[in-house]
């Protein structure tokens, strides 16, 4: 391609800040078919709009202005939450991209220097790319620099019309293009850097003399060119970065691409991802070398996984810290901390406040909540461990329930070091089992157990001789009992 500026110097983000970034976000987004603003739909754990605002903010602009319109209450509330430094400007009626920028400028003090215009629905665009665009613009001393891309199917996009020497002449919308312009495959991304004065002059001259009767921002380029100013294009190879989201199909495509990029980064950093197609990792997650992610794993929020740990298959962790060499199988967890060499699952449910010490185990069909489980302690099977403090080396038998709720209050129970809670026991909170104590299987524990004691909290077993033959005469069970008695030579 001709007219491509030199690549920007490294560290373009350290360059002089820009005057303003204007993020266009007033459109309706009808094709999402959603009660929610299109811009609030998420990929990789963040709204589309928050990506745009994050990229914009990386240019350290004096002003970040988001032009809002449709569903602006939702958009404004969201921005107040995730990006309180941005200003919003209302475009009551969407009269075109040029009109949107007019509305934004009217709300700002007079600007000098570079003004960047971008869209709220182009989530893969990075701050680095915007910085490169600004650097290219400055290197060319241009009045306008437009980010462009070569695409296989340019249908619907504005085409970049260049003259014989390769200089950008104009951008022509698909609907307004003639047959020869329609064959141009270099498209306008809709992302630009303008010199503030050229932008103001160009906007002042816009006319809605096009097929849509709108004020086209793109006409500012032709105006600058006619005024003898430099208009350049900065083509980007990575077309994903300029792809917008109009419907949920595009949203899922971009989400998958974003995820693919995150996974590739981790694979290069020494993480094994067995099945990238079913493994979802948000950008906020931190992974160490020799972590293995098995199929169906989803890691979100402030989740971190230390070296050598294996997660999955079919595991979702949000804000979970996983220690070295831990193994977490088929588990759903949030706000929990798993120590090194721990083992969790299959089929564990870790609710907030779970902390498992080094070498400990939370096993199959075990639910935990607000539970500190010490080093080497184990709850291997079929348990509910809620509001519990379990010391090192304790063993929680199969089916133990920490009954932590009396219908009004919750209370904490404790189990001391190396104590043993027999299977199918219920610990009715608050109870305290001291270090080195035993609870017999099937006990209902309602009072404390001291060190060295065995607590038996159940009815005495009675065996009623001859009951089956008397009460179940004629059944297969009774016949089996009679046969067994005959073999033993004793009464049934
Ligand atoms: C625009 C460009 C086109 C480019 C394409 C890239 C113009 C005239 N055309 O076309 O050259 O290839 O983007 O996607 O600029 N918006 C407002 N207020 C408005 C109109 C639009 O805020 O009055 C916002 C929309 O919410 C959207 C963005 O601007 O985020 C682009 O608007 P859209 O209508 O999608 O522009 P296109 O016709 O696709
Ligand atoms: Ca569009």
pLDDT-based confidence at 492, cuts 50/70/90?
low
The SS3 call for residue 439 is: strand
Q: Which residues are catalytic?
A: 381
CB 285 within 8 A of CB 67: no
Banded pLDDT at 11 (limits 50, 70, 90)? low
pLDDT at residue 393 greater than cutoff 50: yes
How far is 50 from 56, CA to CA, in rounded Å?
Answer: 10
Contacts of 15 (CB under 8 A, 6+ apart): 131, 134, 135, 138
| Nearest ligand by distance to the CA of 26 | 1
Cα separation, 354 vs 362, whole angstroms: 10
Q: Give the model's pLDDT for residue 16.
A: 86
Q: pLDDT digits over 19-70, tens only?
A: 999 999 999 999 999 999 999 999 999 999 999 999 999 999 999 999 999 9
pLDDT at 490 over 70: no
Residue 7 in this model has a pLDDT that exceeds 90: no
* Inter-CA distances, 73 with 43, 119, 471, Å: 21, 18, 73
Q: Which of 94, 190, 206, 207 to mutate to test the pocket of ligand 1 (most atoms within 8 A of CB)?
A: 190
* Ligand 1 atom with minimal separation from the 119 CA: 30
Ligand nearest to the CA of 176: 1
Average pLDDT on 426-432 reads: 97
* Ligand 1 binding residues, C-beta < 6 A: 24-27, 67, 91, 94-97, 99-100, 119-121, 157-158, 171, 173, 187-190, 216-218, 244
Q: Is residue 232 packed enough to be buried (19+ CB in 10 Å), middle (13-18) or exposed (0-12)? A: buried
pLDDT of residue 13: 62
What are the chain's domains?
Answer: 20-242 (3.90.550.10), 330-455 (2.160.10.10)
Determine if the peptide bond prior to 346 is cis (ω within 30°).
yes
Residues 345-360 pLDDT 10s: 999 999 999 999 999 9
Q: Above pLDDT 70, what percent of the chain?
A: 96
Q: Name the DSSP class of 176.
A: G
What does each C-alpha distance from 5 to 132, 198, 368, 473 come to in angstroms? Answer: 10, 20, 58, 98
Question: Is 80 exceeded by the pLDDT of residue 2?
Answer: no
Q: Which atom of ligand 1 is nearest to the CA of 99?
A: 23
**Residue 4: pLDDT above 50?**
no
| Strand 420-421, strand 395-396: pairing | parallel
pLDDT band at 15 (very low <50, low <70, confident <90, very high): confident
Confidence of residue 335 (pLDDT cuts 50, 70, 90): very high
**Cα–chain-centroid distance for residue 186?**
33
- Test site for ligand 1: of 97, 147, 211, 247, most ligand atoms within 8 A of the Cβ: 97
pLDDT band of 381, cuts 50, 70, 90: very high
The tokens describing 4, both together, are 């491509």
């Amino acid at each position: 391609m001709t007219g491509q500026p030199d690549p920007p110097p490294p560290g373009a983000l350290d360059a002089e800040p820009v005057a303003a970034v204007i993020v266009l976000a007033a459109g309706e987004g009808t094709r999402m078919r959603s009660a929610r603003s299109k811009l609030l739909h998420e990929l990789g754990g963040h709204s589309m709009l928050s990506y745009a605002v994050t990229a914009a903010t990386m240019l350290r602009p004096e002003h970040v202005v988001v032009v809002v319109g449709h569903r602006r209450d939702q958009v404004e509330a969201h921005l107040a939450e995730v990006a309180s430094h941005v200003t919003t400007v209302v475009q009551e009626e969407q009269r075109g991209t040029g009109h949107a920028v007019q509305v934004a400028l009217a709300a700002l003090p007079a600007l000098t220097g570079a003004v960047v215009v971008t869209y709220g629905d182009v989530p893969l665009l990075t701050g680095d790319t915007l910085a490169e665009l600004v650097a290219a613009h400055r290197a060319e001393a241009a009045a306008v620099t437009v980010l462009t891309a070569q695409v296989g199917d340019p249908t619907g996009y504005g085409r970049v019309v260049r003259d014989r020497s390769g200089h950008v002449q104009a951008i022509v919308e698909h609907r307004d293009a003639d047959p020869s312009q329609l064959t141009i495959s270099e498209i306008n991304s809709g992302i630009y850097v303008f010199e503030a004065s050229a932008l103001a002059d160009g906007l002042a001259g816009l006319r809605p003399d096009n097929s849509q009767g709108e004020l086209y921002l793109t006409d500012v380029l032709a105006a600058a060119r006619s005024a003898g100013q430099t208009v350049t294009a900065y083509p980007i190879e990575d077309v994903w970065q300029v792809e917008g989201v109009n419907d949920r199909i595009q949203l899922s495509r971009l989400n998958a691409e974003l995820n693919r990029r995150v996974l590739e980064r981790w694979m290069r950093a020494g993480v094994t991802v067995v099945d990238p197609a079913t493994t979802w990792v948000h950008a906020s997650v931190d992974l160490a070398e020799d972590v293995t992610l098995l199929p169906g794993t989803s890691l979100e929020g402030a989740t971190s996984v230390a070296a050598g740990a294996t997660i999955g298959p079919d595991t979702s962790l949000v804000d979970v810290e996983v220690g070295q060499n831990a193994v977490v199988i088929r588990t759903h967890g949030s706000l929990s901390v798993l120590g090194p060499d721990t083992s969790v699952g299959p089929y564990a449910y870790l609710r907030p406040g779970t902390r498992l010490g080094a070498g400990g185990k939370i096993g199959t069909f075990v639910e935990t909540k607000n539970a500190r489980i010490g080093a080497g302690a184990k709850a291997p099977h079929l348990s509910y461990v809620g509001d519990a403090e379990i010391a090192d080396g304790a063993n929680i038998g199969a089916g133990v329930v920490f009954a932590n709720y009396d219908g009004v209050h919750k209370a904490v129970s404790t189990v001391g070091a190396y104590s043993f809670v027999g299977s199918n026991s219920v610990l009715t909170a608050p109870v305290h089992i001291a270090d080195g104590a035993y609870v017999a299987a099937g006990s209902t524990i309602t009072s404390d157990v001291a060190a060295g004691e065995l607590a038996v909290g159940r009815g005495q077993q009675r065996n009623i001789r001859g009951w089956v033959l008397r009460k179940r005469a004629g059944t297969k069970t009774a016949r089996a009992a009679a046969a067994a008695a005959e073999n033993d030579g004793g009464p049934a």
